[in-house]
A and B are shown apart, each in its own frame.
Chain A
Amino acid sequence: MRFRFLCLYFFWSSVSIADEISRNLLIDHYSFLNPSMGFGFEKENRNNQKVFAWYHTSKEIKPKFDFHLQLTALSYKRILRENFPYTEIPYKLQKESGELVAFNPGIRLYFFSLYGNFLSTNPTYKGLSLGFHLYPEKSLFLYYKENPKENTKEYALSVLSGKSPGIGLSIAKEISSEKTEWSGSISFSFQVESFVGAISHLPVTESREDINSIFISKIFQENKESLFQKEINPYIDETDLDKEKKKEEWEAKKFKKKERIIYEIKLEELLKFRIPLVIAIRISRASKSKEEYEELLKTLSPDLVRKCNKIQNDKHKANR
């Protein structure tokens, strides 16, 4: 049993970290898919930790046709355990650390997106992601990758939904010459203006422990093109909303305030009330426009406002 466990451990160590994180960063969160920049930290256990950062930019080629480029830099450290079962020293710990860059070019056409996924350290690795942007805040992704050198393949399906809160679900099937394994991830995010904070969790599988990661990003631009325009809120019946709106309109009409009419005031009318000439000129000019007159009244003393209102009331009575 112990031997089997150690074998599993060793197998897990040989799985490329880069492959896994590259997929996760590509399709597991909205902020990765829009022009943005961010950084994060991922931890499996004390011996396996990663720090990553990304920058994503886009350029419009034609209306509703964009070219995207995402660059991800990853730094990792881990402790490998090499087993020597029948010797005096049963295992040897080996520290390993490294960096890599993932290069993800893509295009977005209306509500479809297509991304390639390449790694600087592993040229035989190739990944392809096809995205369907179903609603303004919901996308579905199909992902395929293969690595002929290691003879591995992977299929994944991912759904991303909402912004605050935003949730993500990813289910993947990894096929290698030795075995087939299911894996998955879930993420939760919260967006405040253009900043997004998120946590992601990958449940434990046979070949690794559970992994948790956090990341923070700033989104520069969000794509609103979607196949369907609106998600329906099932907590609210739209017919109720229509009734409420009609009621509000009816009430607004019922209690509508009569609009105040502003009459033009001549200079001599103002001077009769012993208003200083300089101010009287300003009032007379402002009274030609309702907005200007009301703005000016705000700056005048209460006594002057009272006098102006008296003139306006007299004019109103005369015109009635």
Chain B
Amino acid sequence: MKASVYLSVFLILFCIENIFAEETKPKFTLYGTAEYFESRFVRENQRSKTNALLNTQYKNWQAGIEKRGETPLGSLEFKNEFFYFSAGHRYKPIPGFYILRDEKYYSAFQNPRLGLIPQPLKKSIWLGVLPIRWSGGIFMGEGISEHKPSLYLKSPEDIFAYTYSPETKIHFLALNLRNYKIHPKSEGEFTVSSQAMGKRENYYGYMNLSAFFPKKGMEVELSHYREDNGGLFVSNQDNLTGTNNEKAFNLKISRYHYDRIEAFKNTSDKKEERVIGVNSSILSGRIGALCISGRGYQKLPAVINEKNPELNTLALGISYEYRLKTTEFMLRFERRKNDDELAELKWTVRPIPDWKLEISSILQKDSNQFRSLYEQWSDGENINTILTDRAAAFKLKLVSGFLVFNVSGSRRINGAGEIYFANIQFKQEF
């Protein structure tokens, strides 16, 4: 009886909202993605996958039909000032990548200014109140809460979100505050970006904190990530870290970009690896800077014995770097005391507004004793510094308002094979 009363009130409010809604034309978005992944460990029939979505928005409604691989799926969303409701495989009221994500697919269009394609989800249903302000509600979803509903809480402007599933005891937390200024005229910009998911004793996620003072030329970054059974980098098929359970801390303080002090610590079940270093320009000008760098590497096995000794080495690097606002270039060579060698290339450029091209590459000797630092592009705009032992790795990413293209390739050490990955995504609004 009570349920029918609530349902009636709910439907009345739906109708009232729709009567008073402004007269607008429906908006259609066509989105498609194709992905290819090749590795000796992947079967031929699992190498490629596709996804196509037709999304429509009309007044307070949003609906989408899609073909994810060979499976047809549908999703529906209703949102007004008082209620939120969604069901299907695409829509959710909270920000964040990890909650209920379909691990085989991802959407690269995550910039609200250029148009957003919701992340592919597992089957779920969401019901909430006051979706525009501080809001809360319940949801059920595959793998997290199939029998009992879970709870969610969200702040305005998608800065904070939290969910908890009493059934599986899984928590999810998302924090996203980018380029925040304490006062509109103050110089400092602060960013807090974090996502974490899992049980208390067993979770994965990241936290990035940064402070940027452009006029002083100073930047401070502190980041932490924790991987758990490959959950963190699952959308990166070519996982360069090579291990599925590790956590890392990274601190970087830079002055005028070229002068940097950095400390990195990576801990896994088998060992702890530490890197501490300084990069400084010797000559700098409008055409870039000639820099030298020194790093200390340390590898501490969990059990130190004759087969697994504690290893230390020092490295000397030389690089040419260029930076002007968001345009960046770096070519760096490093030689270590133990004869390890390394070459790195990084290039980021915005040739035309709203287009961004990023290239990143690393080459190492097969016989290197220590893994090297490398920037792993993670979900969305996040970049995590990782340690990789790949003999060679190359990544290219082209981002625009309607096209995102990702290509990467890497070679494992000791001839253990090569990995190629390509993903192209497009969207067209009409």
Contact = CB atoms under 8 A, between A and B. Distances in A.
Interface of A: 1, 134, 138, 140, 157, 159, 161-162, 165, 167-171, 182-184, 186, 188, 201, 203-206, 228, 231-237
A53 B153 CA distance: 57
Contacts of A182: 314, 316, 337
A235 B217 contact: yes
A169 B292 contact: yes
Nearest to A240: B325
The size bracket of the interface on B is 35 or more
Contacts of B282: 134, 140, 159
Nearest to B213: A235
A171 B281 contact: no
B276 interface: yes
A140 B280 CA distance: 10
Nearest to B305: A1
A171 B293 CA distance: 9
A162 B314 CA distance: 24
A186 B215 contact: no
A169 B294 contact: yes
Contacts of B292: 157, 159, 169, 171
B312 A204 contact: yes
A172 B357 CA distance: 39
Contacts of A159: 280, 282, 292
Contact of A203 (B257, B314, B325): B314
B256 to A, nearest CB: 6
B261 interface: yes
A236 B255 contact: no
25 contacts: A140-B282, A159-B280, A159-B282, A161-B255, A165-B253, A167-B255, A167-B259, A168-B278, A169-B293, A184-B294, A186-B294, A188-B261, A201-B276, A203-B276, A203-B312, A204-B298, A204-B312, A231-B284, A233-B215, A233-B256, A234-B217, A234-B257, A234-B322, A236-B215, A237-B325
A188 B263 CA distance: 12
Contacts of B253: 165, 167, 188
Interface of B: 212, 214-215, 217-219, 253, 255-261, 276-286, 292-294, 296, 298, 306, 312, 314, 316, 322-325, 337
A282 B357 CA distance: 72
Contacts of A233: 214-215, 217, 256
Given A168-B278, A184-B296, A232 B285 contact: yes
Given A134-B282, A234-B256, A183 B215 contact: no
A232 B286 contact: yes
A204 B296 contact: yes
B214 A203 contact: no
A234 B323 contact: yes
Contact of A162 (B212, B259, B296, B323): B259
B281 A161 contact: yes
A24 to B, nearest CB: 14
A186 B325 contact: no
A264 B233 CA distance: 79
A169 B306 contact: no
Contacts of A138: 280-281
Contact of B214 (A183, A184, A235): A235
B214 A169 contact: no
Contacts of A201: 276
Contacts of A235: 212, 214, 217, 219, 256-257, 323, 325
A169 B324 contact: no
Given A184-B294, A203-B298, 14 more contacts: A1-B306, A161-B255, A161-B280, A161-B281, A167-B278, A169-B293, A171-B316, A184-B296, A203-B296, A204-B296, A204-B312, A206-B312, A228-B283, A235-B323
A216 B73 CA distance: 65
A168 B280 CA distance: 8
Contacts of A205: 312, 314
Contacts of A231: 256, 284
B127 to A, nearest CB: 45
Nearest to B218: A165
B219 to A, nearest CB: 8
A169 B280 CA distance: 8
A249 B255 CA distance: 30
Contacts of A186: 261, 276-278, 294, 296
A157 to B, nearest CB: 8
List 4 tightest A-B contacts by C-beta distance, closest first.
A203-B296, A234-B323, A169-B278, A235-B214
Contacts of B261: 165, 167, 186, 188
Nearest to A162: B255
Contacts of A236: 214-215, 217, 325
Nearest to A204: B312
B336 to A, nearest CB: 9
